Structure 1
Amino acid sequence: MPPKSSIPKTQQHFSTFDPRYFSQQIQVTSAPMTDELRRWIADNKFAGVGDRWLVQELINHGISPSAANREVTTVSQNPYFQAGQKFLQLLKKHESHASILADLASLSPQSQSIECREKISRNDFLENYYAKNVPLILTGITNNWAALSLWNPEYLKTNFGQVEIEVQSDRNSDRLYEINIEKHRQKMQMADYVDAVVKGGATNDYYMVANNGNLEKTALRGLLNDLEIFPEYLDPQDTDGKAFFWFGSGGTITPLHHDPVNLIFVQVYGRKVWQIISPHYTHMLYNYRGVFSEVDIENPDYEKYPLFQRIPIIEVTLEPGDAIFMPVGWWHAVKSLDISISMSFTNFVFPNKYDWNFPSITYT
C-alpha cells in the first residue's frame, strides 16, 4: 500500500475525514490486490483524491497498471462503497452547516473573547449561557471560599499527607496518555506526591486529574468543607461523581478535547491557560476517538492536520478565584503555568445528561 502520502498541492483538498494521515502503512511487493489495499483506495476516494494519482501510486508500489486501473475505476460501482457515499453526503451537509454557523459567529467583534461577569442570577445564567451553549468567566464567585486562603501544597501535605491517592504517572512516555488512562494509574501517599510536585519543577509526567476520582474514594472529600458550591447554579447535595479535584506541577497539560457535559471549572491556586475552540469547528479537529482531537495543540503538525490552520482559538488565563463555565461540546486544552490546584463541577441544577455517539476509528 502507498505510504502515508503527501499529495501534490494541485490535489490537496479540504475533506474533514482524511484517513491517509493515520492509517497503518502496508508493505506491498508484487502480490495481488488485497483487502487492505482496497480499503486504502476507498479511504482516499472518500477523501476526494483523484483516480489518476491513486493509479500511479499503486503502480509505483508494484501493482500492475491493468490491476491498478481496474481497482480504482471499479470501486465506485461497489455497493458497499455506494452505501458509504450516502452516509458521507449526509455528514457533509452537517459539516457545511457547521462551517456556515462558524462564519456567521466570526462576524461578531466578541467572537474571539469570552465574557466575564462578577455576579449573575440563576435565570440569567440559564437563559443566556447554559441554554445557549455560550461559555462564561465568573469572577468574584469564590470570595467566600476558605480554600482560596488555605489551599497550597503544604496545606495538602499537612492535612492529608497520609491519604493514599491516585495520580496519572509516566505520561511523557505516551502521547495518548488520556485515552490510555488505565495504563497510567498509580497509587501513592499524598505527602510523597506533594514532594514530587514541589521539588520536580515544571513537568507533564505526573498529574492528579478528575479521572483519578480522589474526592470520591479518599478522605480528600474533606476538602469540600473549604468551599461553597455555588447554589445558584449547582446542587451542593449532588457531588458524588460530579465534583473533581485537580493538583499538579506547572507544565501539566490536558490535551485538546471536549467534555460530554456542561461544567464549571474553578482555579484555586496557581494559574492555568485555556485554549478554547467553538464546537462549530468539530469537523475540522480530527476527532477520531472519543472526545479527543488528534492534534497536539502545543505543537500542531499542519502538514498532517491542515484544516487546523483555519481554526480560531480563544485563549484565556484563569487566576486564583476565577471560574469558567465550559458548555458541553466546546473544545479546550489546558496548561498549568504554575503549581496548580483546581476544582470542577458538573452537578448543575439544570439537566446535564446527553446522548453522544463517539468515534472509534482505528486501523489494523
Structure 2
Amino acid sequence: MEAVILELAKLFPRFVDIDGDLLRHNVEARYILKRAADYVESLEYHTKDGTDTNEEEIRYLIQALVDINWERIHTGHFSNVSLPVRKIYALGCYFKILFLLLEISSPEQREKCNAILDEAQLLGCTDDWNELKTSLMKHLDDDLYLNDVTSLPILPVVKRCSHRCDIPQIDAPSLNEFRTLCYEPHQPTLLLNTMNHWPAMDKWRNLNYLLKVAGNRTVPIEIGSNYASEEWSQQLVKIRDFLHRQFNGEDEAKEIEYLAQHELFAQIPDLKADICLPDYCTVRSDDSATDVDIKAWLGPAGTISPMHYDPKHNLLCQVFGSKQIILASPKDTEKLYPHQSEFLGNTSQIDAAKLDLQTYPLAESVQFYELFLQPGDCLYMPPKWWHYVQAKTPSFSVSFWWE
C-alpha cells in the first residue's frame, strides 16, 4: 500500500465527526459510512493481499450509497435537494475515490477518480472537508499536467487607457466612504486601486499557471457568446481543454466558450488563495452576517452577458483583460423589455450595444451609463441595476455578491 494513500486516509473524517444531524434520519447512510470510516481509520493495520472481503463489501456499499444519492439529486429541481443528501453524496464520492486508489493508483485510475471528485464538488456539498478535498486534488493531479505539453501565452501587462465613464470613480475608498457614497444611495461606482495586492493580478496572466492549478477540473462551460440566444448551450469540460481551445492564439474561427458565473474558488482552493474578499462586502444595512457568493468569469474576447440584473449587491473585479459595460437604473425596468419567461425574467430583450428602437421604442428614453472595466478596476453595482457586459479582450473577472 502506497504511503501517500495512508496519508490521505488520515484526512478522512472519523465516524464520530460525521454522525449526528447529518445521519440521524438516514439509517442506510449511517450504516454504510460507519463501516467505511471505521475501515479507513484502521487501514494501516490491513494487509493488501487481494483477499480482503470486508473491503470488497464496503466498496460495494459505498458505490450503492453514491448511486442512490445521485438519483435523489437528479429527482426534481436541484434547488430543492436537501443539504444532507448533497453532503452524503460528497462523502460517498470521497470514500469511493479512496477505495479505487487502494485498488490501483495508475494515471488512468487517477483520471477516473478526478471525474468522481468533480462530481462530488459540482453536485455535492464539500465545504466541511476542504483539507481532504485539496489533498485529494493534489494527489490526483500529480504528474498528469506533465502530459500536457502545449504552451499557453502569458498575457502582457496592459497600460491603462482613458475611457468614457458615466458613473462616479473613487480611488480606494474607505469603508465609511463606500457606505455613504455608494452602498446607502445605491450609486453604481467604479472603485480604483482596491485589488492591486491580489496575487492573482500577476499569477493569472500566465495561463500556464491556470492550466497547472486548475487544468484537470471539470466545469460547466457556456457555448456561444450570449446566454439569451437560441444557439446557446452548456457542456461539462476540462478546464485544460477550454483553455487550449480559447486561448492558444490560433486565428481560425472557433465557437466562443465562456466559464461564467461559476463557483470556481470553492472547487479549487489554490485559486481562492490568489484573491481577497473585499472589505466592502462587510457593509450591510443591518448587523446580520450573510454569506458572500464568489463567482468566476473567464473567457476570450467577444463573450457577452446581455442586459440583465442581479438581486444582490455586486462587486465585479477585473483581474486581466477589459470589458465594456452599459448600465441602466431599476427605474427603467419596464422600458428595457424583460423577457416574459421565468428563466430569463431578469434579462432584457434589447441589445444595449446596438439599440433597435423600431422594435423596442421605449428604450429611447432610457438613461444608459457607459464605462470601461480595466485590470485592477472594481465595479460596484447595487441590487437590480441592469448591466450589459462585453469582453473586448481575453478576460478574467471575479464577482462578489452579498445581501
Residue number in structure 2 paired with 1:127? 180
Structure 1 CA distance, aligned partners of 2:256 and 2:329? 29
Residue number in structure 2 paired with 1:214? 264
The structure 1 residue matched to 2:247, chosen from 198, 202, 205, is 198
Task: Describe how 1:322-361 pairs up with structure 2 within 5 A.
Answer: 322-347=377-402, 352=403
Seen in structure 2, the aligned counterparts of structure 1 residues 133 and 116 have a Cα distance that, compared at 3 Å, is same
Structure 2 CA distance, aligned partners of 1:268 and 1:232? 17
Seen in structure 2, the aligned counterparts of structure 1 residues 195 and 320 have a Cα distance that, compared at 3 Å, is same
- The AA in structure 2 aligned to 1:157 is L
Structure 2 CA distance, aligned partners of 1:256 and 1:316? 14
Q: 3-state DSSP class of the match of 2:212?
A: helix
The structure 2 residue matched to 1:250, chosen from 298, 301, 313, is 301
Deviates more, 1:321-330 or 1:273-282: 273-282
Q: What is the deviation of 1:307?
A: 1.0
Seen in structure 2, the aligned counterparts of structure 1 residues 292 and 120 have a Cα distance that, compared at 3 Å, is same
Residue number in structure 2 paired with 1:12? none
Residue number in structure 1 paired with 2:277? 229
Q: 3-state DSSP class of the match of 1:250?
A: coil
Structure 2 CA distance, aligned partners of 1:126 and 1:282? 25
Q: What is the deviation of 1:301?
A: 2.2
- The AA in structure 1 aligned to 2:387 is H
Is the 8 Å Cα contact of residues 204 and 249 (structure 1) preserved in structure 2? no
Seen in structure 2, the aligned counterparts of structure 1 residues 203 and 263 have a Cα distance that, compared at 3 Å, is farther
Residue number in structure 2 paired with 1:294? 349
Seen in structure 2, the aligned counterparts of structure 1 residues 322 and 174 have a Cα distance that, compared at 3 Å, is closer
- The AA in structure 1 aligned to 2:209 is Y
Seen in structure 2, the aligned counterparts of structure 1 residues 174 and 230 have a Cα distance that, compared at 3 Å, is closer
TM-score by length of 1: 0.57
Is the 8 Å Cα contact of residues 171 and 205 (structure 1) preserved in structure 2? yes
Residue number in structure 2 paired with 1:282? 333
Residue number in structure 2 paired with 1:26? none
TM-superposition CA deviations, 1:328-351 (whole Å, max 9, x none):
11111000010000100014xxxx
Is the 8 Å Cα contact of residues 288 and 294 (structure 1) preserved in structure 2? yes
Structure 2 CA distance, aligned partners of 1:234 and 1:155? 31
TM-score by length of 2: 0.52
Aligned residues between the structures: 227
Seen in structure 2, the aligned counterparts of structure 1 residues 150 and 337 have a Cα distance that, compared at 3 Å, is same
Structure 2 CA distance, aligned partners of 1:119 and 1:170? 36
Structure 2 CA distance, aligned partners of 1:267 and 1:239? 24
Q: What is the deviation of 1:300?
A: 2.7
Seen in structure 2, the aligned counterparts of structure 1 residues 274 and 192 have a Cα distance that, compared at 3 Å, is same
Q: Percent identity?
A: 28
Q: What is the deviation of 1:166?
A: 1.6
Is the 8 Å Cα contact of residues 262 and 327 (structure 1) preserved in structure 2? yes
TM-superposition CA deviations, 1:244-276 (whole Å, max 9, x none):
111001000000011111110000011011011
Structure 2: where are the runs of 5+ without partners? 1-164, 284-288
Q: What is the deviation of 1:311?
A: 1.9
Is the 8 Å Cα contact of residues 222 and 260 (structure 2) preserved in structure 1? yes
Q: What is the deviation of 1:116?
A: 1.0
Within the alignment, does 1:271 sit opposite 2:322 as a pair? Answer: yes
Task: Describe how 1:1-364 pairs up with structure 2 within 5 A.
Answer: 113-152=166-205, 153-170=207-224, 175=229, 184-199=233-248, 205-210=256-261, 212-216=262-266, 218-219=267-268, 221-234=269-282, 242-289=293-340, 290-347=345-402, 352=403
Seen in structure 2, the aligned counterparts of structure 1 residues 239 and 223 have a Cα distance that, compared at 3 Å, is farther
Structure 2 CA distance, aligned partners of 1:328 and 1:156? 31
Q: What is the deviation of 1:228?
A: 1.7
